Amino acid sequence: MREITPLTQSDCFTLFSRVKSDFDFPLHIHEEFELNFIQNAKGARRVIGDHMDLIDEWELVLVGSNLQHGWFTHHCTSKEIKEVTIQFHKDLLDEKMLRRNQLSFIRVMLEKSARGILFSAETTHQLAPRILNLNKKHGFDSVLELFSILHDLSTSRNMRILTDASFNNIEHFTYNSRRIEKALEFMNTNFDKAVSLADTARLVNMSEVAFSRFFKTRTGINFIDSLIEIRLGHATRMLIDTTQSIGEIAYRCGFNNMSNFNRVFKKKKQCTPKEFRENYNAAGAGTRVFI
């Protein structure tokens, strides 16, 4: 299952904090990196790629882009599971910046996260207060704190790589294409407008047929589905973050037909836009912060 996260290109990261009694989200993937902190969930099961294991009272894992993952209740009997999920763009720190000497440890850690990283109990206990209090910081201070947390994680000892290198050819997963990055940037910038395959292909100096095939090969998803995912990402963000009507959100995110928006949303999210908004607004659902 591909998760359509509400993190937009205008955000640095999103943090979701909640207390719950079980794990009910299915195995899934998304392009964003995810740092997941869990407390008081001993006996739950962690699934990262081809790795499965029971977790202890405390858990801190970094999941790379497009690596399937999920946590499941299994033998956990706790009714007060604390979970903090931080998601950030894979290009939050671009390649040129990561090549600087001072960021070399973070670069190596992000590369390793393509296989999932479990941090030691010592590291988890040491950084837990800062992760739990990150939502109390604002603006640039919160971004600096996230970078500081990532740096401390990258220099920590006894981190454990979870997934086998051969799983889904993880070692070789990369767009590695300026054309793809340029196309995705164009789609993210103009998601609220009529974006066509022809216009995007012309932008990167390719024929429609060649670009369509090239895009699917490099990203694993066709052009239309990718554009829909981008639009749904913005739509889910607006459903959470605004009081605008569902119809207005649909039109502002490039969907010109309400029935089509509802159908596509339900197919991708397994619920209607109305149900999605109600679930996030439900009491005890937790707090989500966008930076």
- For 109-162, the pLDDT digits (tens) are 999 999 899 999 999 999 999 999 999 998 999 999 999 999 999 999 999 999
pTM over 0.75: no
Identify the weakest region by mean pLDDT among 27-31, 177-181, 268-272: 268-272
Q: What confidence tens digit (pLDDT) does each residue in 207-247 have?
A: 999 999 999 888 778 999 989 988 888 888 788 778 899 99
Predicted confidence (pLDDT) at residue 285 exceeds the cutoff of 90? no
With 0-12 / 13-18 / 19 or more C-beta atoms within 10 angstroms meaning exposed / middle / buried, residue 224 is exposed
Q: How far is CA 53 from the centre of its chain?
A: 22
Q: What confidence tens digit (pLDDT) does each residue in 73-119 have?
A: 989 999 999 999 999 998 888 888 888 888 899 999 999 999 899 99
3-state SS assignment for residue 172: helix
Distance from C-alpha of 1 to C-alpha of 62, rounded to nearest angstrom: 19
Alpha carbons within 13 angstroms on the beta-carbon side of residue 289 total 18
Predicted confidence (pLDDT) at residue 175 exceeds the cutoff of 60? no
Pick from 84, 86, 85, 92: nearest CA to 10:
92
Return the amino acid letter for 70.
G
